[in-house]
Structure 1
């Protein structure tokens, strides 16, 4: 009865979905990478990697942090998303299997309530899977409109 009010059939909205994914995924990676770098070095992250017995924790901390910041910028801009997504997927897989897998699926675990509000436990791997799914979606669909990739394709005469 009301389907016609909410229908998007016969409209070309799918061009916008990669743009929306790029905004949140790119911003998310930038924020997470910047949090690791914001004190000048990713020393705190390096300590976590050391506790997890990740090889070469100093180098790994820098590589992961820079991958997240610059990869996030690439995703946000829509620049070679199919290439940029691969190392970001790898960082999510490493985080999933080294840290988050031990805490189950849910990304939000309420473990208590204080007068100041809820207390949350460590996050599970739900967010890792959501980032991976979004990145795979971008690999399959491309960057969409409002992207550097679309601009370059248009300049080369490859756009429809």
Structure 2
């Protein structure tokens, strides 16, 4: 039986090998716009009221956020780090979209995600959006193994649900529910590491596998010169 399963697995691997470019392509298409706009917003590229040189530098508000120890990240050399982060994300995003130098550009983007995880999101826990139901929260699976933080997350979901109910009551009574809820229900931002960790996993995959065949410049360049 085990031998049969292994044979079937090998046959499946051969059958789908022609489509192995889809995963890195999807990762690139997800990551590229996210990185491009993140870098764009850190830089002055859209500000036509400043000089060309100033537009190449990081936005002053971003620099202040990088360096401030009270309400910001409290990082050293905020001007330099904001500049590097902005251009790494902006240019790196375009290179990912094209599938050009994918492995090389993944390295500084991975470092950027690690900094974001440890300095911006870590103290907020895992979830980017606070789950309002313990029944559908992934923390429930971890709670089966008596992990204390998972149980705390489930308790937090109860409190989140109570607050959302109160918010919806206020909107129904005093607000404009038809307008306010037209585009979607209310959610509570937790700002945890979830999205940054997912982006990190995607970048690690691209680092190890490359941009994929057929739909990347890396593939055609290496094919030409190999």
Partner of 1:5: none
Structure 2 residue aligned with 1:46, among 63, 75, 98?
63
The runs of 5 or more residues in structure 2 that have no matched partner are 1-11, 48-54, 132-159, 172-179
Partner of 2:177: none
Could you tell me whether the CA contact under 8 Å between 1:77 and 1:147 is conserved in 2?
yes
Query: Which of structure 1's runs of 4+ aligned residues deviate more than 3 A?
Result: 38-41, 110-115
Q: Measure the CA separation in 2 of the matches of 1:63 and 1:26.
A: 17
Q: How far did residue 122 of structure 1 move?
A: 4.3
Q: What is the number of residues matched between the two proteins?
A: 150
Q: Which has the larger radius of gyration?
A: 2
SS of equivalent residue, structure 2 residue 24: helix
Q: How far did residue 135 of structure 1 move?
A: 0.6
Q: What RMSD in Å do the two structures reach over aligned CA positions? A: 1.9
Q: Which has the higher strand share?
A: 1
The runs of 5 or more residues in structure 1 that have no matched partner are 1-7
Could you tell me whether the CA contact under 8 Å between 1:100 and 1:123 is conserved in 2?
yes
Q: Measure the CA separation in 2 of the matches of 1:153 and 1:49.
A: 39
SS of equivalent residue, structure 1 residue 63: helix
Alignment of 1:17 with 2:23, yes or no, is yes
When the two structures are superposed, what TM-score results if normalisation uses the length of structure 1? 0.84
Q: Measure the CA separation in 2 of the matches of 1:102 and 1:126.
A: 12
CA deviations over 1:60-85 (Å, ceiling 9, x no partner): 11110111001111111111111100
SS of equivalent residue, structure 2 residue 126: coil
Q: How far did residue 25 of structure 1 move?
A: 0.9
CA deviations over 1:17-61 (Å, ceiling 9, x no partner): 211111111121001111222444422221211222100111111
Q: Measure the CA separation in 2 of the matches of 1:80 and 1:108.
A: 33
